[in-house]
Structure 1
Amino acid sequence: MTKVRTINNYTGIDTRSAIGTVDHPLANMDHAPTISELCKVFLKDGVALAVNASRKALHEAQLSPLDITHVVSTTCTNSANPGFDHFVCKELGITQPVEKVLLHGIGCSGGLASLRTAANLALGSSFRKRRARALVIALEISSLLVRSELDSINDSQDTRIGVTLFSDCASAAILCNGFGGVEAEPVYELLGWDNRVIADTEHDLGFDVDPLGWKVVLSPRVPKLTSAAVSPTFNKLLQSLPKLPPHYKTASDFDWALHPGGATILSGVEKAMNITPEHMRASYDTYINHGNSSSATIFSVMDRLRQKDMDKLAPDGKAKDFVVGCAFGPGIVIEMCMLKRNMSHIQRTLVVESGEATPSHTESERSEGEAGQEIEIQIEMGSMEGKDEELGEKLRDMHPEVPQQGDSLSEALNGVELD
C-alpha cells in the first residue's frame, strides 16, 4: 500500500473527477461492492451523467432527440442487459426507431472505436441516400472500483496501480453525414480513420471481470508497445488522405488529441513522433485535472483542444487546423483518426438550471438534400477556463526524474500506463 501511495504522488494527476466523494457509501462498506451494487449506481448516476452529456451535444448541434437516426455507445465498466444506451435514449425521449450499437470489451479505445463505427454507419446511410444523425456516447464509472482494488492490494500484496489513475466521465458527440442539410457548423470534420491490433499483446492490457467489479491487467511492456505502434499507423493514415495541405507532412505539423492513459504513454508518443507536450496540451490538461476516464476521455480531450485558452499554449502560439486523434485499448488495439478543426466555430453553451442540462427541443427541418463530402462531428462538453498559465508551466516541466525507491517500485512506475 505504501508503494501504491508513493506511485499516486508521481502519476502527474492533480485531481480526478468522480460521481461522489471519498465518503461515498459504496466505497466505505466493510466489504467491496458487488457487481450488482455497482450496476445500480451505474444505471442511476452514470446514466444521468450520459443524459446530460448527450443534451449538451444535441444543443450544440441544434438538434432534437427526435432527429437522431443512430446511437453508438461504449462502456467497459458495466455489462447490463439492456445496455445503458437503452436507458439514456428513454430519458432523452428518443422514441423513434433508431439503429443502436453498444460496444464492449475495447476499454480506452472505445471512444474512437465508437466514432469509427458511427462514421461507417453514416457512410452506409449516404450510400442509400439517407440522412444520418448519430449520437455517440461513452460512459465510464471507475471510481467505485477503488474499494475492490484496495482489497486486492492488501490481500495479495501486489502493486496494483489502476487505483491511482481512473476517474468518471460521460461524453457525447453528434456525427452527421450531410444529407438534409447541416443544422449547425461542425466543431470538427472527420476525414479518415485507421485501427490495428498489435500482435500477441492480449495478455498485456485488459480489464477482467470479477465478482467485485473489474480488475486491471497490465504489463510493463505497454508503454513501449503503444509508442512503437503510433508511427506506422500515422503513416498509413496519411497515405489514405492525399488531399491534405502540402505543409501537413510530419507528426509535428499537426495538433494531437491522444488518450492520456498515463504519463509515460504521453511522453512515449512524444519521443516516438518527435513532438512536444504542447502538441498534446489538451491531453495533458485533461489528464492533470481529471485523470483517465477510459473510453470517455478522448472526447474530453477533443473538446478541451477546441477551447480558445488552449490555443495560447500551441507550439509557436499557432493552433493547427488538422488534429490527429489516437487511443489504445486491450488487445492491444490502436485507434487513430484525422480531424479538421473548424477554427471559426463559436461554442453554443447549454443553459443549466438547477444542476440539470436543459436544451431547447425545437425539432429541426428534415428535408433531404445532396450528400456532403465529409462526415461532420459536433461536440459540446464542459470546459475548464483560466488555467492556461498554470498548465503552461507544467508542460514546460513535464518529465521530472522519479527518485528510485527500489526495483519493484521502479518497475511499477515504468508500467503506470493503463487502459
Structure 2
Amino acid sequence: MTPAPAPAAWLNAVATATPSHDIHDAFIGWARRRLPDREAKLFDRMVERAGIGHRWSVLPIGVDGGSPVAPGGFYADAMPGTAARMTIYADAAPTLAIAAIEGLGDRVALDGITHLVVASCTGFVAPGIDQIIAARIGLSPRVERLLVGFMGCYAAVAALRSARHIVRSQPEARVLVVTVELSTLHLQPATTLEPLLAMLQFGDGAAAALVTADEGGFAIETPFAATLPDSAALIRWDITDAGFAMHLSGEVPGRIAQALTDPDFAAAATGGRALSQVDGWAVHAGGRSILDAVERSLSLSPQALAASRGVLAAHGNMSSATLMFVLAAMLDGTPVANGIALAFGPGLAAEGFGFRSAA
C-alpha cells in the first residue's frame, strides 16, 4: 500500500512587535562624530542611501527623551559588559516576544499549542527564553520546545522549516513560532566606517506565527539551502566582554550578486523554481544594497521586493525577525500562487522555502 502523502503545513498568521524607542537618528549623530571629517561625509551619503527611516530599541528613553548614547543612557559613559547586556535581554526579549504573541492571538486562536519554536541570536540565558515565554503565557509543561540560537538572519527559515517538519509528521500539531532579536544591546565603540555602517542597519523586533495543518495563510513548501564557498568571514558575530560584535563586510552584497548570477547557485538558492513564474518574493531585508543585489541579479521588477523595502524603511534589519515581518506584510496583501522566501546570513549562506496562498 502506498503511504498517504504528508499534509501541507500552513503559516496561518503572523503578528509583529517593536519597542517604542526610535534610536535611528541618535545613532547617526553618535556615529558620525566618531569618524574623521572625510569618512563622516561618506557615512552621511551612505545614511541617505540606506533606505532606513526608523529603528527601534528596548533600551529605555533617558531623561528629557535622551537616547541610549545621551547622558544617563545605557551607553553614555563606558561600553557596558556582556553581563549587563544579557541582564536586559533576559527580561526584554521575552517581554517583546509576548507582545507579538498577544498580537497573534488577536488574529488566530492560540489554544492547544503543542510545540514552541523560538529563534534568537542576540542573547543567551538559561533557563532559555523559550522556557520563560512558555511559563509567562501559560503553556502546558508538556509542550515540546526548540530554541534556534545564533544562526543569525536566516534563523526564521530554520524555525519555520522545523515547524513544517513537525506538522508534516504530526498533523494534529499546533506550532507557535517566535523570533525575537535585540540587536541594539550590542553597540560597539567603533571608530571606523565599516562597523558603523553595519550597526546602522540593525534594530529590535519580534514576530510570532502559528503553523498547523489547517489550510489558511501560506503553505510552507519545500525548504532549500546553499552556501557560498570561502565566505565564512563575511558575516560574523564575535562574543566579547562588551557584548556581541557584529562583522558585516561591505563585500556581502557583491558576493551575493555574483553568486546569484551562477545558474547552479541561483537554482539552489531559490529551490530550483522558474523565476518567471514566481509572483511573490519575501526576501530578508538585510540592507538596501542586499535587496538591490537580489533584484538586479535575478532580474526582478522594481516592485518585486516592495514588502522587504517597506520593512527595512520602518524597522531596519532585525536579524531573524525581519523575514517574519515581510511575510506578515505579504499575508495582508495580494494572494501568492508561487512565492519564494529567502534570507542570507553567516556562512555566507542562503536559506529559504517556497510558499503559496490558500486556494
Report the CA distance shift for 1:95/1:263 in structure 2 as closer, same or farther (over 3 A). same
Q: Which amino acid aligns with 1:329?
A: G
Q: Which residue of 1 aligns with 2:251?
A: 221
Change over 3 Å in CA distance of 1:47–1:26 after alignment to 2 = farther
Q: Is the Cα contact below 8 Å between 1:194 and 1:233 reproduced in 2?
A: no
- Output the CA distance in 1 between the equivalents of 2:107 and 2:200: 34
Whether 1:165 and 2:201 are equivalent positions in the alignment is yes
**1:328 partner SS:** strand
Contact 1:193 1:237 in 2 (8 A): no
Which residue number in structure 1 is paired with residue 86 of structure 2?
Answer: 39
3-state SS of paired residue (1:13): coil
- Stretches of structure 1 lacking an aligned partner (at least 5 in a row): 242-248, 312-318, 344-419
What is the aligned-residue RMSD (CA, Å)? 2.3
Hey, what's the Cα distance between the residues in 2 that align with 1:281 and 1:55?
27
Q: Please tell me whether the aligned partners of residues 252 and 273 of structure 1 are also in contact (alpha carbons under 8 angstroms).
A: no
**2:28 corresponds to:** none
Instruction: Report the TM-score, using the length of structure 2 for normalisation.
Output: 0.79
Q: Name the SS for the 1:282 alignment partner.
A: helix
The answer to whether 1:338 aligns with 2:323 is no
SS in 2 for 1:169: strand
> CA–CA distance in 2 between the matches of 1:269 and 1:240?
16
One of 90, 99, 102 as aligned partner of 1:52: 99
Q: Could you say which residue in structure 1 is the equivalent of 2:25?
A: none
Structure 1 SS opposite 2:97: helix
Residue equivalent to 1:377: none
**Which residue pairs with 1:347 in the alignment?**
none
User: Cα offset for 1:252?
Assistant: 6.1
- Work out whether 1:206 is the aligned partner of 2:236: yes
Amino acid corresponding to residue 9 of structure 1 in structure 2: E
Aligned twin of 1:235: 267
Contact 1:135–1:172 (Cα < 8 Å) also in 2:
yes
Aligned residue among 195, 202, 211 for 1:175:
211
Instruction: Map 1:164-313 onto structure 2 (within 5 A).
Output: 164-176=200-212, 178=213, 182=214, 186-230=216-260, 232=264, 235-236=267-268, 249-251=274-276, 253-308=278-333, 311=334
Change (3 A) 1:7 1:240: closer
**Is residue 27 from structure 1 mapped to residue 71 from structure 2 by the alignment?**
no
Q: Per the alignment, do residues 233 and 305 of structure 1 end up closer, same or farther by CA in structure 2, a change over 3 Å counting?
A: farther
The residue matched to 1:63 in structure 2 has which SS? Answer: coil
What is the match of residue 341 of structure 2? 325
Query: How many Å apart are 1:75 and its aligned residue?
Result: 1.0
Correspondence for 2:147: 102
Q: 2: CA distance between counterparts of 1:40 and 1:341? A: 41
**Alignment partner, residue 53 of structure 2:** 14
What is the CA-CA distance between 1:229 and the residue it aligns to?
A: 4.1
Question: What is the deviation of 1:158?
Answer: 5.3
Q: Deviations over 1:198-255 (max 9, x none)?
A: 22211111111111111111333311222344464663487778xxxxxxx3246321
Would the alpha carbon gap of residues 80 and 287 (structure 1) be closer, same or farther in structure 2, given more than 3 Å must change? same
Instruction: Tell me if structure 1 keeps the 8 A contact 2:156–2:324.
Output: yes
Q: CA separation of 1:203/1:296 partners in 2, compared to 1, >3 Å: closer, same or farther?
A: same
Q: Is the 8 A contact 2:113 2:175 kept in 1?
A: yes
Asked if the contact 1:251/1:275 (under 8 Å) is kept, the reply is: no
Structure 2 residue identity aligned to 1:196? A
User: Can you list the C-alpha shifts for 1:144-183, whole angstroms capped at 9, x where unaligned?
Assistant: 323xx2x222xxx45312221100000111111x2xxx3x
- Letter of the 1:295 counterpart: S
Kindly tell me: are residues 59 and 240 of structure 1, through their superposed partners in 2, closer, same or farther at Cα, counting changes over 3 Å?
Answer: farther
Is the 8 Å Cα contact of residues 270 and 340 (structure 2) preserved in structure 1?
no
Residues 269 and 350 in structure 2, CA contact (< 8 A), matched pair in contact too: no
2:222 is paired with a residue whose SS is strand
Are residues 1:75 and 2:116 paired?
no
Residues matched between the structures, number? 309
The answer (yes or no) to whether the contact 1:251–1:273 under 8 Å persists in 2 is: no
Give the counterpart letter for 1:92 in structure 2.
I
2:179 pairs with 1:138: yes
Deviations, residues 30-77 of structure 1 (Å, cap 9, x unaligned): 11122111112222222111012122224423122xx11111111111
Identify the structure with the greater strand proportion.
2
Task: Give the one of 115, 137, 143 matched to 1:92.
Answer: 137
CA contact under 8 A between 2:219 and 2:355: conserved in structure 1?
Answer: yes
Contact 2:194-2:249 within 8 A present in 1 as well: no
- Name the CA shift for 1:72/1:26 in 2 (closer, same or farther; >3 Å): farther
- The counterpart of 1:116, out of the listed 150, 161, 178, is 161
Q: Does structure 2 conserve the Cα–Cα contact (< 8 Å) formed by 1:114 and 1:136?
A: yes
TM-score norm. by structure 1 comes to: 0.68
- Aligned to 1:68, the other structure's residue is in SS state coil
